[in-house]
Structures are given as structure tokens and as C-alpha cells.
Amino acid sequence: MNFRESSTSTQIIIIVGVIIVALVVLNALGGLLSLIVPIILWMLAGTIAGRLLRGSGYGLLGDIALGLIGGVVGSILLRFLGVGFVGNIWLVGNIIVGVIGAVVFVYLIRLVHRDDFAR
């Protein structure tokens, strides 16, 4: 085996290794992206819900928190009502679920806690 053959086999091993690493990274990112996209959309939903409930948002962190909580509450509520498929509508469904959940969450807190909460 001469130097040129050794170099070619080494290159093939490196290429196969890079492909394997790339597949593992893409697989990991695919799972991560399936979690990140709804979170980002729920943050947008918090902004929309804040504007619906208050006329202005609750600030950046408040809108983010409201959207995340609204996304969770909306997912649970819509599944309970048998219309959980709404969340499966690509992009728009997550925003709708988040807005519904955020509005329900704020009204429940207002009922239980005090009327001027989140006004």
C-alpha cells in the first residue's frame, strides 16, 4: 500500500465520519426545533393576547411569560374540549392556541386573585 492509497482511504473515513456527525447533529436539532418553534410562536401569542386584553403589551418579559403560559393552558384546554387539532395547524395553530390560553389564563387569575390583575 503506497502513500496515495492510504491518503484516499483516510479521506473516505473522514468523509464518512463527517456525514455520521452531521446526521447526529441534524437529528438532535430536529428534536430541538420541534420544541423551539412552538415556544417562539407562543411568545408571539403572548404579545397578541396582551394587546387584546390591555390595548398594549405587558412588556417584553411579560408578553413572553404570558405566551408560554398561554400555550400550555391553551393546549390543555383545547385537548380537554376535543379541539386539540387546532394546535396541529402549522404556525397559525400554535399562535391561536397560545392566544386562547393566555386570555383564559388572565381571566382565571382575575377571577381568583383580583380584578385589576394584568390591566
Question: pLDDT tens-digit profile of 4-13?
Answer: 555 667 777 7
pTM (whole model) above 0.85: no
d(CA 21, CA 102) in angstroms, rounded, equals: 40
Summarize pLDDT for 23-58 with one digit per residue, the tens. 777 777 777 777 777 778 878 888 888 888 877 777
- Determine contact, residues 84/31, Cβ cutoff 8 Å: no
